[in-house]
Structure formats: structure tokens, C-alpha cells
Structure 1
């Protein structure tokens, strides 16, 4: 079982050294976002909010495009040895309607 921990978030500006600075200023204009080293797609109009607390924790809030989303319990709700709930209900229904 793995231990939960924060992700590694990289907000990167990929620019060739020959490209000029933005409006002559030395600012970072991110065009690449990586989570745990893997590039992720971020909508162009998204805002990335970063908040640092006095206790040393840092949180980030951003929107990413999702390729596949799965929401499920880690363990099955019904033991594999038990019949599926719908089969059990059908059996009870059939038994209750027998003369």
C-alpha cells in the first residue's frame, strides 16, 4: 500500500534563449505544466493559484484536461463469494410470488 503525499508540480516556461523577453521584462510566462514529471494539458484561459501557509504547506489550484476519470471504491462493496445484489433481489421476489 502506498503512502499519500503531495505531488510534484512544475510550472515551466519553455523558451529558446534567442527568444526576446516578454515586453522587455524578465518574467515567466508558463507554457508547460507537469505533475510528477508528466506533462498535463491545461486550458489556455486557466488561472493557476498558488498559496503558501505560515506552517510551510503549499497548495495549488488549477484546471487540467482529463483523459479518463474513474471514481470507485478501493474494495468491492459486495464480497465476490456473495451473489450479486440484483440476483439476490430477483430470487427473493420470485420466492415471494410463489403460491
Structure 2
């Protein structure tokens, strides 16, 4: 069974006095794990409609990449 990922787009504020306004993300978590994102990367949340699932496009730094076949048990 497949399931979607939990994506958290976070703006960490430096002080409690920071005023709310535009969200400027500086941290991303996928399934609770913070991932490295280039400083100039775009985060795109695609249009959300009643009949569609939510999709997000992120650019991340990869520690490793594995492309392979796998046999289901």
C-alpha cells in the first residue's frame, strides 16, 4: 500500500518579536525528517481543487540516490 508523504514547510523565526506577514520558508521536513534545500530553491504547491490530490515540487540536496529493480515479497 502506498501513502503520501507528510510535508512541513516551516519559517523559523529568529525572535519571538518577529512580526507575522509573508511566510519565508527556511526549513523543510519530509515525514518528520528535516532535509537540506538549496537557498535559492523554489517550493511549489500545485493548485488544490476538490477533486485532486495535493502535489508539491521541491528541489533537495540528495545524500544518495538508488535506482533499482525490486521484487515484491
- 1:58-97 counterparts in 2 under 5 A? 58-75=54-71
Shift of 1:56: 4.2
Shift of 1:5: 0.9
In structure 2, distance between residues paired with 1:43 and 1:11: 14
In structure 1, distance between residues paired with 2:57 and 2:49: 14
Structure 1 unpaired stretches of 5+: 76-99
In structure 1, distance between residues paired with 2:10 and 2:52: 22
User: How many aligned positions are there?
Assistant: 69
Secondary structure of 2:55's match? strand
Secondary structure of 2:69's match? coil
Identify which of structures 1 and 2 has the higher relative contact order when contacts are C-alpha pairs closer than 8 Å and 6+ apart: 2
Give the structure 2 partner of residue 7 of structure 1.
5
Shift of 1:49: 0.7
- 1:26-37 counterparts in 2 under 5 A? 26-37=21-32
The structure carrying a bigger helix percent of its residues is 1
CA RMSD of aligned residues (A): 1.4
